[in-house]
Amino acid sequence: MIQLGNPFSKQEIAAALAAEVTAVHTFFAAIPAAQFFAAPAGVWTPADNLVHLIKSIAPVSMALNLPKTALRIRFGWVSHETRPLPQVRHTYVHEALANGGQAGGPFLPEVTGEPTAAHQASILAKWQEKGAALQAALGKWSDKALDSYLLPHPLLGKMTVREILFFTLYHNLHHVNDVQRLLHQPETEWFDP
């Protein structure tokens, strides 16, 4: 798995996102299909985790493809400085999750179909597709614009686009870490200093 580090510039975020999309795919592809679709009751399966990640990055990609004027009208003006990735991570883990925050509504995974290698491959292909779409959408943004527009997060409120991308990078790694724990593998989650 990759070490996330502390990307900040658009170029650094794009490179981290590209590496992470590949690393997440590689990680989930290496899980045998029987394990990919299995978990104890009340725990998300590896498939659930990956579907959740797909559902989480899709709206970010969609938002980055909207006209910037629409984002301004819908979400308003930025009134705070962009927080660095370690601070976004800290707020998510130590405030949102620590206070009971969890995925809901459209972000809940719904894995249907047979637990086969072919089904696993189709989920992995969807991850690749959505990851590539997010990377392409990011390519249309300037570094300055990442700090000039807001997007909503269901647990963290309005965040700059750069902060949403920081969250996305950390969130992907967070769920890989969850699956590693489920599979009794060493965790590789990035922690802030």
Say what the pLDDT of residue 193 is: 39
**What number is the average pLDDT over the span 79-96?**
91
Say what the pLDDT of residue 33 is: 95
pLDDT in tens, 118-175: 999 999 999 999 999 999 999 999 999 999 999 999 888 999 999 999 999 999 999 9
Say what the pLDDT of residue 105 is: 83
CATH number of the domain at 10-182, out of 3.90.380.10, 1.20.120.450, 3.60.140.10, 3.30.70.360? 1.20.120.450
Say what the pLDDT of residue 117 is: 94
| Band of pLDDT at residue 110, cut at 50, 70 and 90 | confident
The pair of structure tokens assigned to 102 is 């969890």
Say what the pLDDT of residue 189 is: 60
pLDDT above 50: residue 113: yes
Say what the pLDDT of residue 3 is: 66
How far apart CA 46 and CA 153 sit, in angstroms, is 23
Instruction: Sketch the domain layout of the chain as residue ranges.
Output: 10-182
Model confidence, pTM: 0.92
Say what the pLDDT of residue 2 is: 60
pLDDT in tens, 22-74: 999 999 999 999 999 998 888 999 999 999 999 999 999 999 999 999 999 99
